[in-house]
Amino acid sequence: MLITNNMKFSTNSIKSCAARIGTLTEFERIPNTIFETPLALIHTKGGCVPHLTKDVFKMVTSDPQILSVSLSSTYLMLESMKDNNVNFANFVGMKEYINFVTLHDQAYATPSGFREANSIPIWTRSGKFTLTPNMYMNVIETFKPDMYVALCDGDTNINSSKKRVSNSIQNSTKFFDNCFTKHSSSEALKSSEILGAIEGGYDKDARTISINYLKTKPIIGYVIDGLHNNGPDVKNIPSEQIREIVQHTNNLLPPEKLRVSMGCWNPLTVLDLVELGTDIFDTSYPYIITENLRALTFLCDHDDCNNVGHTISFTEESRYADDFSPICSHCECLTCKNHTKAYLYHLCNVKEMLGSVLLMIHNIHQYLEFFKIIRESIKCGVLDDYKKKINLKFKQGNVAEADEPTNIKETKSSSS
């Protein structure tokens, strides 16, 4: 058995289900990089941040980041990577960033069903591809990611039957065995970390079975999977729907291991999941807000900005046509420092792509600031007060996001 991974996660929290600060260190490919959790992975398509060039993204943030890379948006690159004999980070020119590979794109609803024996489907712009554990691990060996999730069957949600939930656990257990055996002996993956997926839908007993199987494995952490089928509707899932099952899950997981929850959870749900001991999320939420031509304002509490709710729309609110103030006068992003709401309103209504670029710059900046505030609030012991403040922002003035139209098409695509 070859396992020589050096990556480490550490936390001073001894509680299984409580907000905590942790650190991810000792990445072999970029050894001096340190990440503090809770954090958000940067959602990508084809390995790039949607709407932003690499140079623009570097202007958005100079901090180290972890990229969330879905196979559904990158699988078609596989043969070219093989032909050029390069790993994923080098192939897409993002070698300065740690990458975390998952099966599905969190911003798009994953079609349910379509399962074949001993395989999992992924959906690309060219249609469906099915991956067996052996095929999946061959792909992973070509990508050589810093972190990745073992092949799993997470096709469950709150409406799933007991039989579907049971099958998801059986499949995922079998897939993990096959993946971990290959991972453990792979020379190509000696610098990569594998995570296991906790399945079980909304059935506590099923979750317990999945946890008991995985918690003895020598892995760095777990992905709490099977709560949804991805896509924009995840932002409308109330915390009350998932809180009990996530609390049950985290209470049974070893406190020293990493916990990941993917999907475009809204900020209120993120705060609840952080409070339950979840460490890692992703930025598919600000991407979806951008696709709806909206700007995040839930961090803005300045009277001179007059931002009452958690987002503002540049297609529905004609009052911004003559508003020559920035989205937020206190925001330090490139968009707010250089452009006005009136200009953004114009760009969005003439369907100029620069509108999405400027909104993405602002929304990513705001979301990364959100996680900085979360970490500081945990350190200072004021997370509960911060939650109340953000809750109030969501309750004020805005049309519920559940009633908003979405520009995210329910098909897989690797275009940004």
Measure Cα distances from 136 to 120, 133, 142, 180 in Å: 9, 5, 10, 12
Sheet holding 35-37, edge to edge: 8-11, 22-25, 35-37
Q: Are 232 and 264 in contact (CB under 8 A)?
A: yes
Q: Are 62 and 29 in contact (CB under 8 A)?
A: no
In the annotated binding site for Zn(2+), the residues are: 331, 333, 336, 362
Rounded to an integer, what distance in angstroms lies between the CA atom of residue 289 and that of residue 276? 25
The closest of 154, 145, 151, 275 to 224, measured between CA atoms, is 154
The closest of 305, 286, 250, 247 to 368, measured between CA atoms, is 286
Rounded to an integer, what distance in angstroms lies between the CA atom of residue 313 and that of residue 295? 7
Rounded to an integer, what distance in angstroms lies between the CA atom of residue 293 and that of residue 145? 32
Q: HSE (CB half, 13 Å, CA atoms) of 170? A: 8
Q: HSE (CB half, 13 Å, CA atoms) of 1? A: 7
The closest of 74, 60, 8, 80 to 37, measured between CA atoms, is 8
In the annotated binding site, the residues are: 331, 333, 336, 362
